[in-house]
Amino acid sequence: MNEQYVRDLHEVDETQVALVGGKGAHLGALSRIEGVRVPGGFCVTTEAFRRIIEQAPSVDELLDRLSHAKTDDREAVRTLSAQIRRAIEETAVPDDLAAAITRALARSGERAAYAVRSSATAEDLPTASFAGQQDTYLNVVGPAAILRHISRCWASLFTERAVTYRRRSGIDHRTVHMAVVVQRMVLPDASGILFTADPLTGDRRSATVDAGFGLGEALVSGLVNPDVFT
C-alpha cells in the first residue's frame, strides 16, 4: 500500500489528523478498541488532496480571489466556490494514485458497496463544528465510481456553506485539507449519534443518544425525527 496516499483504518489514530482528517483519525482510534466493530476500509490521505490541488492550477488564483471577496458578497462566494469545485472534479486522478486506491479496494473487496466520506483536517474544533458541511456518498460500488466520488469529496471542501463558515470563523481556506474515508457499508437495524456532552447546554455530566431505524444518513439529513435518550 502506498502509505503516502492510502492508509488502512487500522494504521491510523488521533495523532494523524493532519494526514487523514478528523473522521479518519477517530475511526482509526475506534478500530483499535477491543470489542468495538468498525467497518473495514481505508483513508485517502491529505497528501493525495494536495497533489490534486497542485495539478489544478486555476484553484490557486480562485482561492486568492475568494480571500479578497467581501464577506457579505454572497454571489461572489457562491460563484468562486462553484468554480473551485468544478476545477477539482475535472482534474484527472494521476495513474499512480488511482492504482493505490484500486489496490486498497481489491484488498477490501472490489465489488462491495462502500461509503465514501469526507474527512477534513478542520472538522470538530473547540471553537467550531463543521459537521455535515462536506459530502458523504453511500452505496458506491466499483473502482471508477469510487474514484469519481473521492473527487467529489475533495471538491466538497469548497461548498458555499463550508466556505462561508470558515470565513466567519477566521480560518484560512489554504490551511484546511481534505482526506477521504472509503469504508464498507453495513445494513443497520438502527443507528444514531452519541453526544458525550449535552448538545444544547454543553453539560458534560450527561450524554445524549439520538437514534432511528436504518442508516444514520436519514437522521443526519433531518429526514426522520429521532428517538432521544439522555
Model confidence, pTM: 0.88
Task: Considering the chain, tell me which residue range(s) the CATH 3.30.1490.20 domain(s) occupy.
Answer: 6-186
**Range 22-41 burial, b when 16+ CB lie within 10 A, else e:** bbbbbbbbebeeeeeebebb
Q: Domain 6-186 adopts which CATH fold?
A: Dna Ligase; domain 1 (3.30.1490)
Grid cell digits, residue 194: 452519541
pLDDT for residue 169: 80
Give me the percent of the chain exceeding a pLDDT of 70: 94
Tell me the three cell numbers of residue 35: 470489542
pLDDT above 60: residue 211: yes
Q: What is the CA radius of gyration of the chain?
A: 18
Average pLDDT over residues 15-41: 93
pLDDT at 130 over 60: no
Which among 11, 167, 183 has a CA at the least distance from the CA of 112?
183
**205-213 long-range CB contacts below 8 Å, 24 or more apart?**
206/230, 213/189
